[in-house]
Amino acid sequence: MKALDRKFCVAPMMQYTDMHDRFLLRLISKSVFLYTEMIATGSLIYGKCFEQLEFNPEEHPVGVQLGGSDLSDLIECSKRCEQYGYDEINLNVGCPSDRVQKGKFGACLMLEPNLVAECLSGMKNSVSIPVSIKCRLGIDDNEDYEFLYNFVSIVKQSGVKVFIIHARNGILKGLSPRQNRNIPPLKYDYVYKLKKDFPDLEIIINGGIKNLDDSSSHLKKVDGVMIGRAAYDNPFMLKDIEPRFYNIDSSINSKKEILNLYLEYVERQIQNGHNLSRMMKHLFGLSRGDKYAKSFRIKILEIIKGTRMNKEKFMDEVMEMVYKDTGSVPYNAEDVMCDSIRWIENYIRPGEMYDHLDFNEVWGTSNIIDHPTGRQKMMLKLGLVEDFNTFKSFPSDTKVLDMNNMTVEQYKENVRQYLN
């Protein structure tokens, strides 16, 4: 069996990471490891809600997260999950909500490490796919590292090797699940120390990780990172995972292509009986950082409220919003190159350099992450920096340069000559 790569994961999130969101994320990154929402064993065993296990074949690699503490139920559900084709089964020992506490699963199980070990051992021995655990540092007043160390020491006896650690305590009384994601302090050093103390375990860190720079820092000390809300609120950040963490060229589509592919998926799933609004809500974050983001979200709301979608009309309206704003965030090399031609034709007069442009006016509030301001921004827009040297083909319908059969370097040199 090929080993799973969990270097970069998206967290299981209730009401967020359903099969539709996971399909969207997979359009953006081919390498990120995905997880389902938590699925309670009771809903499968007694509620027969097997539609919760449905997923798209494009989602692989994808793990399913189960919530429960009854050994026989967990074993039965694990077998069914393997039959469905999941790549991994994860046991939730981190959710602090009242609902899961009443069902005796989630974070409250950290007080019963022997029961957790028994459950994981039974799950692991009943299937041929990997089994993992997601937990917190501790719960309530159990805040010291010793509690976490003892918990892991017992649970690892199950034979499970993959521990996903949310680097906060879970407060079972007095805080809501949402507050539990923010109020308990982050203690990343506990997770780092855990990796040192248990080098044979695969330790994945979770909690408060906002971007790829944060992820890069954590990966120097643990085996993997798991991003939650930040990946949902700004899914397009995942486009840089392949070149940055896997040392492979990204085959990322532009936002336009991703939107087109996702809307085609939505149309297919509507025919299969899936709810339009549940699928469309996942697009809200796709325009994060763009000038037209508000208008884009309004269009999505109109579709959700109207419960019908005209894909062609929607795409035309979105593209109109995008292209009237030539200062929007560049999505990939192709967008940068195409935009550079528009810049040359529309903003740079013959014989002039680009220094005369008012960059605050041109760029407005566009969120160009990690890119410098002023002159260097314009150089990036014109493709004169090295970030986009993997681009393979160019538009040929420009009035300025004949770009057929032109390499990146030839294009850059032509732009330089034109500007000079």
Q: Which residues have a catalytic role annotated?
A: 95
- Alpha-carbon gap, residue 168 to 136, rounded angstroms: 6
Integer Cα distance of 420 and 413 in angstroms: 10
Q: What is the DSSP string of 81-138?
A: HHHHT-SEEEEEE----HHHHHTT-SGGGGG-HHHHHHHHHHHHHH-SS-EEEEEEEE
Q: Residue 18 has which token pair?
A: 């359903």
Torsions phi, psi for 151 (to 5 deg): -60, -50
DSSP string, 251-291: -PPPHHHHHHHHHHHHHHHHHTT--HHHHHGGGGGGGTT-T
The CA distance from 206 to 188, in Å, is: 9
Task: Encode 321-374 in three state secondary structure.
Answer: HHHCCCCCCCCCHHHHHHHHHHHHHHHCCCCCCHHHCCHHHHHCCCCCCCCCCC
176 SS3 class: coil
**Residues with Cβ < 8 Å from 80, sequence gap 6 or more?**
44, 50, 53
d(CA 98, CA 231): 26
* CA–CA distance, 280 with 300 (Å, rounded to integer): 7
Say how many Å lie between the first and final Cα of the chain, rounded: 58
Q: How far is CA 211 from CA 231, 236, 239, 343, in A?
A: 8, 11, 12, 30
Helix, strand, coil % over all residues of the chain, rounded to 5: 50, 10, 35
Q: How far is CA 262 from CA 30, 231, 321, in A?
A: 15, 17, 18
Strand partners, 335: none
b/e map 348-381, b = 16+ CB within 10 Å: beeeeebeebebeebbeebebeebeeeeebbebb
How many C-beta atoms surround the C-beta of residue 407 within 10 A?
A: 12
What would the two tokens of residue 82 be?
């393997």
Please state, in angstroms and rounded to a whole number, the distance separating the CA atoms of residues 322 and 299.
13
